């Protein structure tokens, strides 16, 4: 899942500029459909689900691990590891009979020039400049520290009685947005702000928009934050140096689609292919990428489908959902192209070691969505929950928040859903009762760390999720009428215009289920 920024890596752009080709797989290209009145082609979804196995997915995960091992330990955007990951996906798809397309995009790439917090006593701490924070002057801001009376520092009242003018404020994560903490500290007179995490990892945060404050704001880890609080109490002087600049960069998505299926009713599935810089990213998101790849390979053996199925391996997700957003914006600029997408399915982290079986809560039966939910999304969710209920597999809702590559789709009115096994939330006793595992620790303790490798991916979770993805793919390749009222093969090359969502049926809750918050 997405983090915010990466640092400069040597030799990154050269490989990306080689072999990039045309923009999008054209949805309107004729695939040689039957004419009017041609019978529908029913793909046995349950049988197809059995064809997508853990063993098949695992072979792809092993290769992605080898790619990382050969390329500095990661597969991050703008690196040789990402290029090699894409080449593996492309090679595998071509062997299966697909024509692959690289969809290039350019974007402003933030390069870190400085990220340090030092004390006059010699100690130093790792920090990360928050997104939309101003940079410090070269050499940083040097000042005494201050801590609010209420460590969370959310309001002016938290600073009552504290001498904060001309200091670097040190506040704890929690309760309110980072922007509120920064605004309150600046109003109290702080010349810099450090927000420390409430878990043991570096805090990568955002202020949400430009111009929120005029002072530099950075995130720190929990242990460092607590050490800073003690140092401030002892009278230490802090130097906060966080600076970035922006360069233009280019990356790409990998796109492929089935030869069979009507062109005006496309079922689209996606997973981000890039990792963070800190590790191989075999769960985040080699797992979603590998499941998607195995489903595509098996689906290529089907010569007749009612609907085209399009697959996307997104680039630069970890830098801010950049690849998927660029793709959707490109489609939106072409009249009618988004209307051809019946629904979008997203798979981001489906092999967490302390897993739950999570389905995006598109019908808002558990969580009110913080975004508008396009009509047809609840019916898309029901395809997954129908499968889990029919197989007796417990599942939980995860908030339909748009915090992965389905964001751009739903913002443009395309129905969506997806699967998720958990990231940095902690597993509850109720979830242990449903899925096993360990209560009180994170679903993926290795999330965004060097330990996110093949040894820490759950075979059991993959074994549950891979058939679910396959089932949903086959079912929607046959019929999307519950989502958009379209069923059966269409006229060859004929476009039926914008779809109108059908009523469909709500999700079934036959199997035990609980709730799960989607990770940020």
Query: Residue 181's domain is classified under what CATH number?
Result: 3.50.30.30
CA distances from 93 to 99, 138, 296 (A): 8, 48, 7
Question: Is 28 a domain residue?
Answer: no
Identify whether residues 185 and 88 lie together within a single domain: no
The answer to whether position 387 is within a domain reads yes
Cα-Cα end-to-end distance for the chain = 7
3-state secondary structure 3-22: CCCCCCCCCCHHHHCCCCCC
- Asked which of 213, 246, 279 is the last residue of a domain, the reply is 246
Give the burial class of 326: count Cβ atoms within 10 A of its Cβ; 0-12 exposed, 13-18 middle, 19 or more buried.
buried
Among candidate residues 188, 212, 246, the one where a domain is terminated: 246
Same domain, 241 and 262: no
Nearest by Cα to 409 from 331, 484, 315, 471: 331
Does any domain span residue 375?
yes
Instruction: Say what the pLDDT of residue 26 is.
Output: 36
Q: Are 82 and 315 in contact (CB under 8 A)?
A: yes
Which residues, other chains included, contact 276 with Cβ-Cβ below 8 Å and sequence gap of 6+? Answer: 3, 6, 74, 76, 284, 318, 448
Task: Return the bridge partners of 358, or none.
Answer: 396, 420
- Looking at the fold, whether 234 and 362 belong to one and the same domain comes out as no
| 320 in any annotated domain | yes
Task: Supply 231's token pair.
Answer: 């140092």
- CB 76, CB 275: distance < 8 Å: yes
Residue 86: both structure tokens together: 């894409």
Among the listed residues 80, 317, 381, 431, the single catalytic one is 317
The reply to whether 345 and 414 lie within a common domain is: yes
Return the closest-CA partner of residue 53 out of 468, 463, 388: 463
182-215 b/e with 16+ CB inside 10 Å = b? bbbbbebbbbbbbbbbeeebbbbbbbeeeebbeb
Count CB-CB contacts under 10 A for residue 171. 27
User: 375 and 330 in one domain?
Assistant: yes
- Residues 219, 94: one domain? no
State both tokens at 348: 């981001």
- Do 145 and 77 fall within a single domain? no
Give dist(CA 64, CA 54) in Å, integer.
15
Active site residue 63: no
Question: For residue 107, is it within any domain?
Answer: no
| 267 and 231 within one domain | no
pLDDT along the chain (520 residues), means of 10: 42 32 35 39 93 98 98 98 98 98 94 95 95 95 97 96 97 95 98 94 90 97 96 97 95 97 97 97 98 98 96 96 97 96 98 98 96 97 98 97 95 98 95 98 95 98 98 98 89 35 30 37
CA distance 195 to 181: 8
For residue 104, tell me if it sits in a domain: no
Tokens encoding 123: 């100690």
Q: 189 in a domain, yes or no?
A: yes
Picking from 246, 271, 292, the residue at the C-terminal end of a domain is: 246
> What is the domain-level CATH number for residue 63?
3.40.630.10
Q: Are residues 344 and 466 in the same domain?
A: yes
Q: How far apart are CA 462 and CA 479, in angstroms?
A: 26
Q: 306 lies in which domain range? A: 38-98+258-516
Other Cβ atoms within 10 Å of 514 Cβ, number: 17
Instruction: Note whether 402 and 502 are same-domain residues.
Output: yes
Q: Are residues 43 and 167 in the same domain?
A: no
> Residue 336, Cβ neighbours under 10 Å: how many?
13
* 240 and 213 in a common domain: yes
> How far, rounded to the nearest angstrom, does the alpha carbon of residue 121 sit from its chain's CA centroid?
40
Number of domains comprising the chain: 2
Q: What pLDDT score was predicted for residue 2? A: 62
Whether 29 is in a domain gets the answer no
């Amino acid at each position: 899942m997405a983090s915010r920024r990466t640092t400069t890596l040597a030799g990154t752009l050269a490989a990306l500029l080689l072999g990039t080709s045309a923009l999008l797989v054209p949805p309107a290209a004729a695939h040689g459909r039957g004419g009017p009145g041609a019978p529908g082609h029913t793909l046995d979804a349950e049988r197809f689900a059995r064809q997508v196995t853990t063993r098949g997915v695992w072979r792809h995960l092993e290769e992605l691990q080898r790619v990382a091992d050969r390329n500095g330990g990661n597969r991050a955007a703008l690196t040789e590891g990402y290029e090699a990951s894409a080449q593996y996906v492309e090679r595998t798809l071509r062997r299966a009979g697909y024509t692959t397309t690289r969809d290039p995009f350019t974007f402003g790439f933030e390069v870190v020039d400085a990220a340090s917090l030092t004390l006059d006593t010699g100690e130093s701490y790792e920090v990360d400049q928050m997104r939309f924070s101003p940079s410090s002057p070269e050499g940083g801001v040097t000042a005494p520290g201050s801590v609010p009376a209420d460590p969370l520092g959310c309001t002016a009242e938290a600073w009552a009685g504290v001498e904060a003018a001309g200091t670097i404020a040190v506040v704890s994560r929690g309760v309110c947005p980072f922007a509120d903490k920064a605004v309150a500290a600046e109003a109290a007179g702080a010349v810099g702000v450090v927000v420390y995490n409430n878990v043991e990892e570096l805090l990568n945060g955002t202020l949400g928009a430009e111009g929120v404050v005029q002072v530099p704001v950075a995130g720190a880890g929990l242990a460092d934050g607590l050490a800073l609080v003690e140092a401030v109490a002892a009278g230490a002087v802090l130097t906060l140096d966080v600076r970035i600049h922006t360069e233009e960069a280019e990356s790409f998505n990998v796109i492929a689609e089935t030869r069979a299926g009507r062109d005006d009713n496309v079922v689209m599935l996606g997973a981000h292919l890039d990792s963070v810089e800190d590790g191989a990213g075999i769960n985040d998101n080699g797992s979603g990428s590998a499941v998607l790849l195995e489903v595509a390979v098996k689906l290529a053996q089907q010569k007749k489908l009612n609907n085209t199925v399009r697959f996307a391996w997104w680039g630069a997700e970890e830098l801010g959902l950049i690849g998927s957003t660029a793709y959707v914006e490109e489609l939106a600029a072409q009249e009618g192209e988004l209307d051809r997408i019946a629904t979008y399915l997203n798979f981001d982290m489906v092999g967490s070691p302390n897993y739950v079986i999570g389905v995006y809560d598109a019908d808002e039966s558990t969580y009110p969505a913080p975004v508008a939910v396009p009509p047809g999304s609840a019916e898309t969710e029901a395809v997954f929950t129908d499968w889990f209920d029919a197989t007796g597999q417990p599942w939980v809702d995860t908030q339909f928040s748009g915090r992965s590559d389905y964001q751009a789709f739903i913002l443009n009115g395309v129905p969506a859903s997806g699967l998720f096994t958990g990231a940095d939330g902690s597993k509850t006793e109720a979830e242990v009762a449903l899925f096993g595992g360990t209560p009180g620790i994170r679903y993926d303790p290795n999330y965004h760390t060097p330990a996110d490798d093949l040894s820490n991916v759950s075979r059991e979770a993959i074994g549950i999720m891979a058939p679910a993805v396959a089932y949903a793919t086959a079912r929607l390749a046959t019929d999307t009428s519950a989502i958009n009222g379209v069923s059966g093969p269409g006229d060859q090359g004929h476009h039926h215009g914008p779809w109108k969502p059908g009523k469909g049926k709500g999700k079934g809750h036959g199997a035990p289920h609980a709730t799960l918050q989607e990770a940020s």
